[in-house]
Amino acid sequence: MTTDIWIVTCVLLATIIAFVLDRFRLDVVAFVSLLALLLTGILTPTEATAGFSNSLVLMIAGLFVVGGAILASGIADLAGRWLGQVGGTSTVRLTATVMLASALLSAFLSSTGTVAVMLPVVLSLCRRAEVSPSKLLIPLAFGASLGGMLTLIGTPPNMVVNQELRDAGLEPFEFFSFAPAGILMLALGIVFMCTIGTRLLPKMRTSAEDATRHQGYVSRPELIHSYAVDDKICEIRIPRKSKFAGRTLRDLGLRTNFQFNALAVSTPSTKGTVVRKCDADTLLQGGDTLFIKSSNEECLAKLIDEGQIESVALPAVLPKEVHLAELIIPPRSEFIGRTVRDVEFFRLYGTMVLALHDGTQPASTRTSDTPLTSGDTLLVAADAPALERLRKSRNNVLLVSEQEEPPETPLAPAARWVVVILVGMLVAMSFGIVANVTAVLVAATLMVIVGAFRGTNVYQSVNWESIVMIASVMPLATALQKTGTLDLVVSVIVESPGLTNPLALLLLLFAVTSLLSQAISNTATSVLIAPLALELAERLDVSPYPLLMGVALAASTAFATPVASPINALVAGAGRYRFGDFLKVGVPLQVLILLATLACVPFLFPFSP
């Protein structure tokens, strides 16, 4: 082995280990790996930067914009409401409906965007049907993953293997080339989850707290009880003779001196009671009623004594203007690792964080100093405008439940144009009227022109972490080929007697891709495995199409762990799943998809060139 091969191998292994550890952002890991290859002279500057101008990367960025327009226009929410109407109350019927709906959306949207849209809908559906969310949230995630197998744009790995064919001068897959195998896998997944899978999923908890938590936190008392803040929220009446009257919260230093958060203040007037959201400049007046969340009984006693407070009600009866809601921290949120105090929720969203839940127990004390992790849920108090801002948030926090049914989101004025543009893009890609990247970029541009986005929201719709990660990983595949590392691996496989059979080769590629996808990004996995599959096909003189199709299908089988994909992590927090829940359901489904791939892919795409 040459020095270059050793360098590339070390960089590759270090990259995979860093991906698995998940202590650093994916784009940072990939970019550092790219710099290592550039600084060691393995890649030239032109080769190292080629990924950022690759048509695949541009197409994925454009698809983020198209998907963002579908979300922003309310079309995806409309699909979610339709789901609630047809789901019924049977667990089996709900499972099939949720999986089918998420798969259809995921065929054209990102899987993460699909789950973000449908998660609140499914929780509401569970509440009405009195079904534990733990029975439906894993099917929601698996349906979104299986939906990526249906179309060329369903998931980035499909586009990666397609680009590999194009770069090799071969005829690429068509838009619906994935559909025959994808439909079969989706059908198998639905049947499995409706029969065996639903029995393997955790059952409905029977304790009052768990039953409340798993029914969507529909009422204010349930929300308060679920986060163990029953005895933390109280209301105090400010007498006219109180030392607090005529002073602002900032002047009094109530948060630092008395360790409580002010949620709202109610002021009587001739026209009725006026409820205001509190901030540091809120002026207290004699006769006001102040609603607070306090974590310390001694500080509350000190507040009563120094403020000459006469009337205290515990627990408080919060006014209707104070809305309680539950948020979840999604994977790749910028808030992960930061405390509530660092994030400044009040400044960003106008909300007050009352407590958090880490999936095992609520933390209602020292909430401000607790670092946030993916899957954590937060109980917040907000007014109507702040609640609306939270509904529109999908990147750093996701609103999953409220004390009342959320109002139906009306379709945006540009919704009809969004549908027309989407259909036009799909037609152009299906019939090859223009190049796929051209169709996507034109559609993305038109989405902006017709007003599907407001201001700079178009940039927020793009997952830049994924774009940088893909563009940085692609040159790593170039380095594997350039240094002969890929040839070395291919030679070892070809010289192994048991792997010369094409079916055994398909099994090997599927297994390796599926296994790596449990630990690292499925896009990064396909970028690394697709050139190997193409090289093996050429060396063994078999068609590359079944091997690359197998790689694409395997990349969408990230079922076995809660960290296998962002959507698994998202539902893990909302459903309070344990690591073993994914193993029990995911591994059998992966084996089933593997067997189905070995049976149908060679039939759809023969090995003979």
pLDDT tens readout for residues 64-74? 888 888 877 87
For residue 34, being part of any structural domain is answered with no
User: Which of 255, 280, 313 is a domain's end point?
Assistant: 313
User: Which of 287, 313, 339 is a domain's end point?
Assistant: 313
What percent of the chain clears pLDDT 90, i.e. is strictly above it? 25
Q: Give mean pLDDT, residues 107-121.
A: 80
Domain range for 105: 59-204+413-460
Whether 268 and 161 share a structural domain = no
- The pTM for the full model equals 0.78
Whether 276 and 252 share a structural domain = yes
Report DSSP letters for 202-262, one per residue: PPPP-SHHHHHHTTT--SHHHHHHHTT-TTTEEEEE--TTSTTTT-BHHHHTHHHHH-EEE
What's the structural domain count of the chain? Answer: 4
| Residue 209: pLDDT over 50 | no
For residue 271, being part of any structural domain is answered with yes
SS3 of residue 354 by DSSP: strand
Whether 74 and 149 share a structural domain = yes
For residue 171, being part of any structural domain is answered with yes
Calculate the CA 599 to chain-centre distance: 32
Question: Are the C-beta atoms of residues 72 and 461 closer than 8 Å to each other?
Answer: yes
For residue 48, being part of any structural domain is answered with no
Q: What is the pLDDT of residue 417?
A: 92
Which is more confident, 369 or 552? 552
Q: What is the pLDDT of residue 19?
A: 79
Q: How far apart are CA 563 and CA 22, in angstroms?
A: 9
Q: Give mean pLDDT, residues 312-337.
A: 78
Whether 240 and 307 share a structural domain = yes
For residue 209, being part of any structural domain is answered with no
| Residue 212: pLDDT over 60 | no
| Residue 591: pLDDT over 60 | yes
| Residue 208: pLDDT over 60 | no
The CATH code of the domain that includes 345 is 3.30.70.1450
Amino acid at 482: K
Whether 151 and 91 share a structural domain = yes
In this structure, of 121-125, 235-239, 348-352, 526-530, the range with the lowest mean pLDDT score is 121-125
Whether 307 and 359 share a structural domain = no
Residue 355 forms beta bridges with which residues?
Answer: 379
Helix axes 579-604, 179-192, angle to 10 degrees: 140
For residue 244, being part of any structural domain is answered with yes
Q: Give mean pLDDT, residues 152-161.
A: 91
Of 312, 207, 306, 329, the C-alpha closest to 257 is 306
pLDDT tens by residue, 500-531:
789 999 999 999 999 888 877 788 889 889 99
pLDDT tens by residue, 427-441:
998 888 888 899 999
* Range among 7-16, 81-90, 394-403 with highest mean pLDDT value: 7-16
User: Which of 288, 313, 338 is a domain's end point?
Assistant: 313
Whether 394 and 423 share a structural domain = no
For residue 521, being part of any structural domain is answered with yes
Q: Give mean pLDDT, residues 599-608.
A: 93
SS3 of residue 163 by DSSP: helix
Q: How far apart are CA 95 and CA 197, in angstroms?
A: 10
CA distances (Å), origin 299, targets 205, 227, 306: 36, 21, 10
CA angle in degrees (0–180, nearest 5) for 535-539-544: 55
Q: What is the pLDDT of residue 371?
A: 85
pLDDT confidence tier of residue 315, bands split at 50, 70 and 90: low
State how beta strands 274-277 and 311-313 pair.
unpaired
In this structure, of 148-157, 193-202, 234-243, 294-303, the range with the lowest mean pLDDT score is 294-303
In this structure, of 32-36, 206-210, 451-455, the range with the lowest mean pLDDT score is 206-210
Look over the chain and give the mean of its residue pLDDT values, rounded to a whole number. 82
Residue recorded with tokens 């359901």: 585
Whether 450 and 361 share a structural domain = no
Whether 378 and 441 share a structural domain = no
Report DSSP letters for 455-479, one per residue: TTHHHHTS-HHHHHHHHHHHHHHHH
Give the DSSP H/E element, type plus range, for residue 381.
strand 377-382
Of 178, 193, 86, 88, the C-alpha closest to 136 is 193
Whether 128 and 114 share a structural domain = yes
Q: What is the pLDDT of residue 216?
A: 40
pLDDT confidence tier of residue 189, bands split at 50, 70 and 90: very high
Whether 520 and 592 share a structural domain = yes
CA angle in degrees (0–180, nearest 5) for 585-100-515: 40
Q: What is the pLDDT of residue 458?
A: 81
| Residue 138: pLDDT over 90 | yes
| Residue 88: pLDDT over 80 | no
Q: Give mean pLDDT, residues 362-385.
A: 77
Whether 244 and 359 share a structural domain = no
For residue 221, being part of any structural domain is answered with no
pLDDT confidence tier of residue 362, bands split at 50, 70 and 90: low
Report DSSP letters for 385-454, one per residue: HHHHHHHH--SS-EEEEESSPPPPPPPPTTHHHHHHHHHHHHHHHHTTSS-HHHHHHHHHHHHHHTT-S-
